[in-house]
Chain A
Amino acid sequence: MIKMLDVSKKIKKTYVLKEISYTFDQGNIYGIFGKNGSGKTMLLRSIAGLVVPTEGQVDINGRLLHKDISFPPNVGVIIENMELLPQYDAFTNLYILSKIKKIATKDDIEETIRKVGLDPNSKLKVKDYSLGMKQRLNIAQALFEKPDILLLDEPTNAIDESGVNLVYDLLLEEKKRGATVLIASHHKEDISLLCDDTLKMADGMLTNE
């Protein structure tokens, strides 16, 4: 469970998040919609522990971020500018990352790469990937350690139609597994059917649709 308790974030005299209080329950998919610059990405960053709220706190299963823990214990993230190592292939990239937490096996990595529609045995380097392939690999990067929380910022960006359906199926699988999924998007229509709850982000404020 993720509890946001009066979370505000101020950057250069402007509040980009304003007193956000909300509880995201375990095992649900939440869609966060809003225009560019409304604060969706900043909300995900603050839950991921990448930014420190100016006011308020984020509670992850009873533990406070930046107080009891630096980051959520088991989180998968897709966030803008997040890139994998361009000089390596898909498998090597995930294998290097897997060495940090040591919870995913080589089989888990291969299976996840296959699930997102890529070939785990391909030696093609990430720098030679198309945008859509990079995004698929980013999704695999977020999923392969079977995280409890998934924070996905525009996860279907640059992915073709068949790929989008594949991603939706994967997210439903993650939900079945018990993961809490937060998806930020500016296309409400695209993923609202997938979500248990949809929230609107505008001017740094989060409201129920």
Chain B
Amino acid sequence: MSTFDAVNSVFPFLYGVPIVHSYQLETKFLLYWYLPIAAFSFYFTGYIKNALMTYGKAVIIRNYSKSKWILKRFIGMIYALCLFVLFQISIFYLFLSGKHSLPDGEETVKLISIYYLTLVVIFSIQLLLELYVSPQISQLIINIYIVLSVLLTKQLYLTGSSETIYYFFITNYGMGFKTGISSIPQYQTIIIDYWVGIFVLLIFGLIILSFSMRRLKNIDIF
């Protein structure tokens, strides 16, 4: 059994990266968890800026509401992300369902919901950043944030920081190991309350959308 198989789950990506002393184990979990997310991030690079600077001009110039335009882009992102996550789930189900048993229904639904919501918020930040910096810089910033927030969480946990600070690292929300939803106690370190996490993610999502709408109203479209 490989180290990664140690989580004994059909959907290991839903558990994220545990807080463990072993750097090798941490890196392995991080890579498995992070690679699909990095791929999503590449897909969404330029999703707002490039669309705005090309076809978006033809639309907006016709007095189409800027708020409506950006809302449609965000809905498009949410929809695409839904397909990505479903695809990810299908792939893991096909390859691992024979080796491991499925987690119970409620646990799976909760894990998928918060994982999906976390990704929506992370990529909403990437899209918002595109209204301030170039798509490439935005992608770089969000990827640095994703990786750093995982690594910093561990360091902060080991130094015994206050619990509130973990809520600023959104990536932790989508990890079953950190929300306590996983049924693998040896890797579990509960630092995020599941329902508080869901609430914070929804609030973050709305704030980001509102900021994006306000920003687009004042931005120059070249």
Chain B binds chain A:
yes
Q: Are A97 and B62 in contact (CB under 8 A)?
A: yes
What residues of B have a CB within 8 angstroms of the CB of A49 in the complex? 61
Q: Are A82 and B62 in contact (CB under 8 A)?
A: no
A22 within 8 A of B: no
CB contacts under 8 Å to A, within B97-131, are none
What residues of B have a CB within 8 angstroms of the CB of A52 in the complex? 218, 220
Stretch in A28-36, A70-78, A163-171, A175-183 with 4+ CB within 8 Å of B: A70-78
Q: How many residues of B contact A (CB 8 A)?
A: 16
Query: What is the bound-complex CA distance between A50 and B61, given in angstroms?
Result: 8
B165 within 8 A of A: no
Q: A83-B54, A97-B58 are in contact. Are A73 and B63 (CB under 8 A)?
A: yes
**Residue on B with the closest CB to A96?**
B59
Q: How many A-B residue pairs have CB under 8 A?
A: 53
18 more contacts with CB within 8 A, not counting A75-B61, A100-B59, are: A48-B61, A50-B60, A51-B220, A52-B218, A52-B220, A71-B60, A71-B61, A71-B63, A81-B57, A81-B222, A82-B57, A83-B54, A83-B55, A83-B58, A100-B62, A100-B63, A100-B64, A101-B62
Q: How many residues of A contact B (CB 8 A)?
A: 22
Partner of A82, one of B58, B64, B66, B218: B58
One digit per residue, 1 when the CB lies within 8 angstroms of any chain B CB and 0 when it does not, for chain A 38-63 equals: 00000001001111100000000000
Query: What is the bound-complex CA distance between A188 and B152, given in angstroms?
Result: 61
Interface residues of A (CB under 8 A from B): 45, 48-52, 70-71, 73, 75, 77, 79, 81-85, 97, 100-101, 141, 145
What residues of B have a CB within 8 angstroms of the CB of A73 in the complex? 63
Query: What is the bound-complex CA distance between A141 and B220, given in angstroms?
Result: 22
What residues of A have a CB within 8 angstroms of the CB of B66 in the complex? 70
Q: Are A82 and B54 in contact (CB under 8 A)?
A: yes
